[in-house]
């Protein structure tokens, strides 16, 4: 929505969907917005090659021409923004409260190293669980309810009666000590 509101995007009649690699006319037609081409190998593991048309950026070149200025003064396209880590995005969108409200819970649960455009299937099980927790925290924050988390500690009260999160120590793959 931020990119669609820019003057250059409005001149071109771009909508928020244009800046989504999941759907819309803005995504690369060759790779379908995935950034890579899947090559099935008959007797070997499948191979994933960077898309030759978008060079892994997922969008058409004309969509990448639309750029937004960050708090730090840098200018970025939608592909550049999706390549930011959560930590970098918090600095880039520093003055925009609604974006910070969505990103801060990710940092609060220790996921500030993830890239904004990182595919969900590439997350570990623990990262996926923390992502779900961050979703609850973001929802609570947007409703103005009590919600907080820190690596190792989490508390959330979402306003729903009986909502409780309990966490135990991860043991799979760790040394017994």
Q: What is the pLDDT of residues 51-81, one digit of tens each?
A: 999 999 999 999 999 999 988 889 999 999 9
Per-residue pLDDT tens over the stretch 83-130 = 999 999 999 998 888 888 889 999 988 899 999 998 888 888 888 888
**Pair 65, 26: CB distance under 8 Å:** no
| DSSP designation for 7 | H
**Per-residue confidence band for 159, with pLDDT thresholds at 50, 70 and 90:** low
Considering Cα of 29, then 34, then 37, then 40, what sign does the dihedral take? Answer: negative
Apex CA 78: angle with CA 21 and CA 84, to 5°? Answer: 105
């Amino acid at each position: 929505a931020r990119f669609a509101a820019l003057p250059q995007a409005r001149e071109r009649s771009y909508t928020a969907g244009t800046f989504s690699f999941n759907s819309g006319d803005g995504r690369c037609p060759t790779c379908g917005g995935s950034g890579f081409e899947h090559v099935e190998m008959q007797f070997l593991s499948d191979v994933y090659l960077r898309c030759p048309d978008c060079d892994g950026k997922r969008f058409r070149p004309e969509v990448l021409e639309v750029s937004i200025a960050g708090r730090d003064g840098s200018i970025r396209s939608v592909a550049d923004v999706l390549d930011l880590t959560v930590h970098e995005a918090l600095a880039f969108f520093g003055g925009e409260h609604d974006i910070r409200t969505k990103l801060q819970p990710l940092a609060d649960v220790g996921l500030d190293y993830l890239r904004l455009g990182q595919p969900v299937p590439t997350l570990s099980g623990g990262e996926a669980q923390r992502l779900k927790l961050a979703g609850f925290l973001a929802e609570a924050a947007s409703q103005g309810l009590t919600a907080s988390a820190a690596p190792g500690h989490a508390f959330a009260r979402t306003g729903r009666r009986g909502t409780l999160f309990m966490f135990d120590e991860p043991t799979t793959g760790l040394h017994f000590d």
